[in-house]
Amino acid sequence: MADAGDLNLSLTPLAVVVTTPAYSGLGPALTYVHDRPLEPGTLVRVPLGKRELLGLVWEAPGLSLEGLEPGQARAVLQVFDAIPPLNAAWRGLASFAARYYQRSLGEVALAALPPQLRDLQVEQLARKLKRLAKAAAGSPKTQGRQFNQAADSEPVMPESWSVGDTKAGPELSPEQAIALERFQTADRPALLFGTTGSGKTEIYLRAVQELLEQDPQAQALIMVPEINLTPQLEARFMERFARWGVVSLHSGLTPAQRLDHWLAAHQGRARIVLGTRMAIFASLPQLRLIVVDEEHDPSYKSQEGARYSARDLAVYRAKRENQGRAPGHCRVLLGSATPSLESWRAAEIGRYLKLEMPQRIGGGALPRLRLVNMNHQPKQCVLAPALLESIAERAARGEQSMLLLNRRGYAPVLACHACGWKSDCPHCSAHAVFHKIDRTLRCHHCGYSSRVPYACPGCGNLDIAPVGRGTEQLEEQLVGLLAHARRADGEPIRVLRLDADSTRAKGSLEQQLAGMHEGEFDVLVGTQMIAKGHDFRRITLVASVNADGGLFASDYRAPERLFALLLQAAGRAGRDAEFVAAQDTAVELWVQTWYPEHPLFVALAQHDYPAFATQQLEEREAALMPPYSFQALVRAEARTQEAAQALLNLAAQAGEPLPGREHLTLYPAVPMAIQRVANVERAQMLIESDSRPALQAFLAAWQEQLQLARSQPEAKGVLRWAIDVDPLAI
């Protein structure tokens, strides 16, 4: 290690990006010195204050030591030269994301690396790499599996694996063949608009296969909303592509696994990365294909730190990879049966290439919609008698049903009818949810939990009662209502509940799903997690028990989300055309509603997403809402609601002279929908513009004003503020 003292002249100055707190005044990169130049993208360890940090060498044309006191720029401590630098395209992605989402480069770039890298010394990494290389050399054909073993365990190989074999898939349907061919020659992002069960996954698999066979170096990135919810998809990729090395990247991995998988992708040993939104930042030096499955899914938008949209970054990343190359070098494929309105519009105006697959594989019919008018049902009825009967009949024939209710727990609130007491969370402006299973009241916002009181805390009344219904209660009631019915083997009907509570234990979700696939259960009850992606073969009825919340929510995206959810859920039914034909059964989507005339249901009955999208887009255009305008939301958290709002309003005043301001509308600060969480008051301000550049320019300049406003007396007690660009929920 060089002493920076008198040697300044023989030392090279380097710009190094580290995780610095925002507004530390330290700027995007710090200056260090080293005894030789280092390429941008090189990982290093540097001192900062008394600490030692992971850093990334960044480009800084014209950086010099002039003007610095001798010894002022400290020396780089260690250089990770056993791994290649992060390439220019990756750095371009990180700096774009930082700029666009209004965060510091250090925060975005360093958060995009596996956390374990931060604590690793150079020798430790070198040892790890040696171990990984040895393991890979020992079993070259089985990398994929092996990376997905726990980091230090020996790879286990199933006997049946034909080593080195890429399992070929089924022959493509004519629709699939056309879609794939058009995609392979696309010169722009492609939107695969394919109905549920139309074989979109097969298109992804084939696109990956063709690319990897044709280019021995190429890498592919496959993004999925929530990997643990769709173990089937992961299994399909693992099985098909074992020989090419498949690794996953998601939050369920141990830190050691995450680092191993990241390294495999970074070094090119893994050719395929399958992951959730965080995988958009994986280092893939030979990236040539990005697939975003279920591209409309809200989980692609991060809700913390840099609030990036992994789907939008995927489109940017492909474009960046193509800089200076042919436009089709790196392709991006967004797939959905219910695309986001943003992507739909992009396809309508030709910015994206639209690929359509309206038919189900095997020619299976889409479920017929049966609206249940709740105004005409017996009083207090949970499930319409006709629906119950249909479920029972199906179970008797060996078919399965699925019931969707978007609320977990037993009841959303406990109440006393004598004095009006409600089970409110003491720390949030929200009810604590009643969970009967362990007789607790739990707040789903802050985690607060308490025993259910024996009597009403307000008046001593012993008769406190649950109000409303959650999945736990629906399961209980369903078992009671179906007590008389029998399954095909004469046994009582079996109900399975799947939600965040029932699947908390590791592996339990997969186990329960396997039970469903094997026909162990007749009815599946759950939250939206059961609607996503699963390839159930024996479900012929899907029912939404209470969907009306989505019809009249204040959030203008609620109808879009409801439509997508119902169509997704419906897509779990009748996926096996042969089974349906053999059963001679009707595949149905039942929706219980108090508003059967609502236009959303009319479009749903036709499975007509384009009509629904057109109608929604017309409304959005008339109201100048996204995608016809651009939004950002600034949120402030404080000890008091007044302070949170004052910060936003003061900053808005101070922002008057800033660039872009004349193209913006700043709305007054308002409390957030759930105003208080964990004793913190929350307020937000919406900013709207018809010009994205104006919005971007303003936000970049405005951050300083927001920070300055914190020191005003009115904003005393402000804890933090954050900007959310292209917010999903308002």
- Closer to ligand ADP by CB, 142 or 338: give it: 338
- Alpha-carbon distance of 23 to 87, in angstroms, equals 27
Nearest to 528 by CA among 544, 552, 551: 544
The DSSP call for residue 616 is H
The site partner of 421 among ligand ADP, Zn ion, none (C-beta below 5 to 8 Å per kind) is Zn ion
The site partner of 338 among Zn ion, ligand ADP, none (C-beta below 5 to 8 Å per kind) is none
- Closer to ligand ADP by CB, 201 or 423: give it: 201
The site partner of 133 among Zn ion, ligand ADP, none (C-beta below 5 to 8 Å per kind) is none
Contact in structure between 44 and 58 (CB atoms under 8 Å): no
The site partner of 637 among Zn ion, ligand ADP, none (C-beta below 5 to 8 Å per kind) is none
Q: What SS3 class is residue 467?
A: strand
Q: Which residues contact 518 (CB under 8 A, 6 or more apart)?
A: none
Contact in structure between 289 and 210 (CB atoms under 8 Å): no
Q: Which of 107, 202, 321, 560 binds ligand ADP (CB under 6 A)?
A: 202
- Closer to ligand ADP by CB, 40 or 519: give it: 519
**Per CB under 6 A, does 199 bind ligand ADP?**
yes
The residues in 450-469 that bind Zn ion, with binding defined as CB under 5 A, are 456, 458-459, 461
Query: E strands along 76-196, which residues?
Result: 78-79, 190-194
- Alpha-carbon distance of 276 to 228, in angstroms, equals 10
Helices (H) and strands (E) in the chain, counts: 20, 28
Q: Which two tokens stand for residue 581?
A: 């034909």
Per-residue contact string for residues 531-550; x = within reach of ligand ADP by CB under 6 A: ----x---------------
Minimal distance in Å, beta carbon 199 to ligand ADP? 3
**Per CB under 5 A, does 419 bind Zn ion?**
yes
- Closer to ligand ADP by CB, 306 or 353: give it: 353
Q: Which of 8, 143, 173, 336 binds ligand ADP (CB under 6 A)?
A: 173
Binding segment for Zn ion (CB under 5 A), chosen from 197-205, 366-374, 443-451, 627-635, is: 443-451
Contact in structure between 568 and 196 (CB atoms under 8 Å): yes
Q: How crowded is the C-beta side of 365, counted as CA atoms within 13 Å?
A: 15
- Alpha-carbon distance of 354 to 656, in angstroms, equals 42
- Closer to Zn ion by CB, 124 or 679: give it: 679
- Alpha-carbon distance of 601 to 469, in angstroms, equals 23
Per-residue contact string for residues 377-416; x = within reach of Zn ion by CB under 5 A: ---------------------------------------x
**Per CB under 6 A, does 339 bind ligand ADP?**
no
Q: Which two tokens stand for residue 337?
A: 């049966």
Contact in structure between 531 and 196 (CB atoms under 8 Å): no
Residue matched to tokens 């005409």 = 376
The site partner of 106 among Zn ion, ligand ADP, none (C-beta below 5 to 8 Å per kind) is none
- Closer to Zn ion by CB, 448 or 556: give it: 448
Minimal distance in Å, beta carbon 466 to Zn ion? 15
- Closer to ligand ADP by CB, 143 or 400: give it: 400
Residue 192 pairs in a beta bridge with 335, 355
Binding segment for Zn ion (CB under 5 A), chosen from 378-386, 423-431, 532-540, 546-554, is: 423-431
Q: Are strands 400-404 and 523-526 parallel, antiparallel or unpaired?
A: parallel
Q: How crowded is the C-beta side of 288, counted as CA atoms within 13 Å?
A: 21
- Closer to ligand ADP by CB, 117 or 355: give it: 355
The site partner of 91 among ligand ADP, Zn ion, none (C-beta below 5 to 8 Å per kind) is none
627 cis-preceded (ω within 30 degrees of 0): yes
The residues in 152-171 that bind ligand ADP, with binding defined as CB under 6 A, are 170-171
Minimal distance in Å, beta carbon 384 to Zn ion? 33
Residues that bind ligand ADP (CB under 6 A): 170-173, 176, 194, 196-202, 361, 535
